[in-house]
Copies of this chain bind each other. A is one copy, B any other.
Amino acid sequence: MELSEAVANRRSIRKYKKNPIPDALVSEILNSGMAAPSAGNLQSRHFYVIRDAAFKKNLAAAALDQTFIAEASVVMVVCTDHKIRAEYGDRGEELYAIMDCAASIQNMLLTAHSLGLGACWVGAYDEKAVTKILNTPDRFRPVAIIPLGYPAESPKPPSKVAVDDACDFL
């Protein structure tokens, strides 16, 4: 798929068909996430890739009962890794690593769309509950939950602010 088409037509998808996503597509999505830039190329991020039904159900509960998460074929949880502190301190952990994760996620959302899949960027959840469910090492902080599946809805494009409101030209 053309990049411009993927950028323009990707939507947040919260309803999924039952079909499982083949491993080859999950790999392609993950590889696109790992290809995103990162501060100092430290790649201070970690990806949990979850097919297990019990984990998905518990994550949906930790995400304020957003039950659609449990219906997804695959759920990713993307974490910052505080190893970045050694190089960049607070700014590394509180800015760079978060942006590095988001760059990975945006690549993955575009790639998922290009493969005929749908995904949703979920930010509202209890972080401590998620770390407990996944039994993450202390150095990881979960910064997004991304359910992925074959789309069972076609949402309209959301409204966007005008260029003149979003931008200043100097």
Chain A residues within 8 Å of B, Cβ to Cβ: 1-4, 6-8, 10, 12, 27-28, 30-32, 34-37, 39, 41, 43, 45-52, 55, 91, 94-96, 98-103, 105-107, 109-111, 114, 121, 123, 134, 143-144, 158-161, 163, 166-170
Complex Cα–Cα for A94 and B27 (A):
30
Q: How many copies does the complex hold?
A: 2
- Beyond A4-B32, A43-B161: 19 further Cβ-contacts under 8 Å? A3-B3, A3-B6, A3-B114, A4-B28, A4-B111, A7-B32, A7-B111, A12-B37, A27-B163, A30-B163, A34-B161, A43-B166, A45-B166, A48-B167, A48-B170, A49-B167, A49-B170, A98-B99, A99-B101
- In the assembled complex, the CB of A11 is this many whole angstroms from the nearest CB of chain B, namely 9
B163, A34: Cβ atoms closer than 8 Å = yes
Q: Give bound CA distance, A52 to B158, whole Å.
A: 33
Given A3-B110, A43-B161, does the pair A99, B95 have CB atoms closer than 8 Å?
A: no
The answer to whether A105 touches B111 (Cβ under 8 A) is no
Contact present for B34 and A160 (CB under 8 Å): yes
* Contact call B170/A107, Cβ cutoff below 8 A: no
Q: Which residues of B contact A37 (CB under 8 A)?
A: 10, 12, 106, 109, 121
- The reply to whether B30 and A167 contact each other, CB–CB distance below 8 Å, is yes
Q: Within the assembled complex, what's the spacing in Å between the Cα atoms of A110 and B5?
A: 12
User: Across the interface, do A99 and B144 meet the contact criterion of CB distance under 8 Å?
Assistant: yes
Given contacts A46-B166, A103-B105, A103-B106, contact A96 B114 (CB under 8 A): no
Least Cβ distance of A12 to chain B in Å?
A: 6
